[in-house]
Amino acid sequence: MTDTATQTATSAGPQVEPTTGTHRRSDLVIVYHRQPYEEVEEGGRTVLRENASPNGIVPTLKGFFGQVDHAAWVAWKHADDPSNPGFDRVIEIADSFGTYAVSRLPLTPAQVTSFYHVTSKEAFWPILHGFKETYNYDPVDWPTFREVNWAFAEAAAAEVAPGGVVWVHDYNLWLVPGYLRRLRPDARIVFFHHTPFPGADMFATLPWRGEIVESLLACDAVGFHIPRYARNFTAVAEAQAGAEVSEEIPTPEEMAPMGGALTARRLPLALDYEGRRIRVHTNPVGANFGYIERLAGTDEVAAKVAAIREDMGDGQLILSVSRTDYTKGNIEQLETFERLLERRPELHGRVRLMLVSVGANRAMTAYEEVQRRIEELTGRINGRFGSFEWQPVALISTVIPLAELVAYYRAADICSITPLADGLNLVASEFCAAQGEGAKGVLVLSEFAGCAVTLQGAVPVNPFSHASMDRGLDQALDMDAEEALGRMTALRRSARRWDIEAWTQRELALFADLRAEAAAG
């Protein structure tokens, strides 16, 4: 869903205290691979701390805890010996979000490598994003993937109250709904995808496609960011399982830009399968618009913005922020900037690209190769065009504290987000929030980022086309103030419309509808 790797603040949050008392079942159980807090070493012991920043997927999901009577979270935790993990499997937590249970699954490093790094990242990830050339299922240990998903399902089944909602997140837990339906047929099961969902032909590349689709069709609702992904899912369900679309509508105008690469004109709402109705739920997650906007207005950020602008002088700053991944288009971004400097020598000394590309997983060969290529291109560009007074590219490969990142959002003249494929991308929305009222920053946005469907006012580019990328960057650099202001005003309006609060309320409405349907029989 998001590029959260670059958005974590460095200061620790308040300590989280496990509580005592009778453990009870929960109205809402969130199933996500990461724990809902940070583990840090203090004085030779491990303590739990709240996530330092309210920005990111974990704090976003924890925000639902205050909306129900009692909630729980299911995640994994490393253990050398799962039969004797050395920690309590289930604990009750009290923090600023409330009191909730955390069920921690002890997984060995070998299980995590197999289930997450190999099956999820080497087999699923490239297919989800349309990269057949990097797809490799030979090392996949499917029994281990099943085993881990079964453990998540068992933990969720033990936590959910009768008729409660189990909310499962992302493709590495694809088999959980099918197992959970066997264990707790009374539960309302909702699945949310934070990535693209591929078309039927691409999805068919997965040898386990039938098992995955059967599991997803055990849900009461399956969620996606944008209509295109929802339509791809219904096509897969029809092709692989014979499910039928039973309800659809014209896509609302605010999610159907004319001519967009990811535009879908029809929005599926439900599938029928073996006598059951499965909702198809489209709900683009948003940035924490209000928080970013407030942070951008603080004295700390203002001082940093002033320093950045003083350093730039009359020059223009292009900012790009993402993880290091072959899907993110960082290499194409650098190649476009190099062509700009070749084509327009008058910009030498007057434009700078700040590329924030934080490694997602250095242990994986595919990501190591991308990082190496990024570093080579950066060195080549700076060597060809740089001087003692001017370095054209600043490459940042470490995590940036959120307040500093927001300062760069606010100071930048252009934010260029050009993934080859991206489930949504919240950086683009955060840039708009940080710019503030009356700002004239320009957003250059790939047509293949999911947020291109919801953000109105960006300069669209096709990252697979040199000509399109070159035109887009030229247009952004040469844009007059009036047009830039009009575009940013529209961008901020749409980013605010699709913010995290709107996403939260739509998800809660879905949960309420599912409970009401179950109560009505």
pLDDT tens-digit readout, 431-453: 999 999 999 999 999 999 999 99
Residue 300 has pLDDT above 90, yes or no: yes
3-state secondary structure 336-371: HHHHHHHHCHHHCCCEEEEEEEEECCCCCHHHHHHH
Per-residue model confidence (pLDDT) at position 42: 78
Question: Which 8-state DSSP code applies to residue 252?
Answer: P
Lowest mean pLDDT among 1-10, 254-263, 448-457, 474-483: 1-10
Please tell me which residue, 296 or 7, carries the higher pLDDT value.
Answer: 296
pLDDT of residue 57: 87
CB 447 within 8 A of CB 474: no
Distances (CA, A) of 518 to 188, 220, 398, 422, 514: 8, 10, 48, 35, 6
Which comes out higher in pLDDT, residue 98 or 344? 344
Q: Which pLDDT belongs to residue 11?
A: 41
Contacts of 408 (CB under 8 A, 6+ apart): 308, 317, 319, 354, 400
pLDDT given for residue 113 in this prediction: 94
Find out whether 7 and 1 touch, Cβ atoms under 8 Å. no
Residue 12 reports pLDDT greater than 60: no
Sign of CA dihedral 405, 4, 491, 487: positive
How would residue 95 be classed by pLDDT, with cut points 50, 70 and 90? confident
- Kind and range of the H or E run holding 476: helix 466-478
Using one digit for the tens of pLDDT, what is the confidence trace for 210-255?
999 999 999 999 999 999 999 999 999 999 999 999 999 999 999 9
Mean pLDDT, to the nearest integer, of 371-398? 96
Q: Per-residue confidence at 30, pLDDT binned at 50, 70, 90?
A: very high
In this predicted structure, the answer to whether residue 2 has a pLDDT above a threshold of 70 is no
Report all structural domains of the chain as residue ranges with CATH numbers, in order of start. Answer: 18-286+501-520 (3.40.50.2000), 289-497 (3.40.50.2000)
- In this structure, how many other beta carbons lie within 10 angstroms of the beta carbon of residue 460? 18
pLDDT greater than 50 at residue 8: no
- Mean pLDDT, residues 398-426: 96
Question: Tokens for 256?
Answer: 């159907």
DSSP letter assigned to residue 117: I
- How far is it, in rounded angstroms, from Cα 290 to Cα 379? 38
Using DSSP, state whether 480 is helix, strand or coil. coil
Tell me the average pLDDT across 46-62: 80
Q: What is the pLDDT at residue 18? A: 65
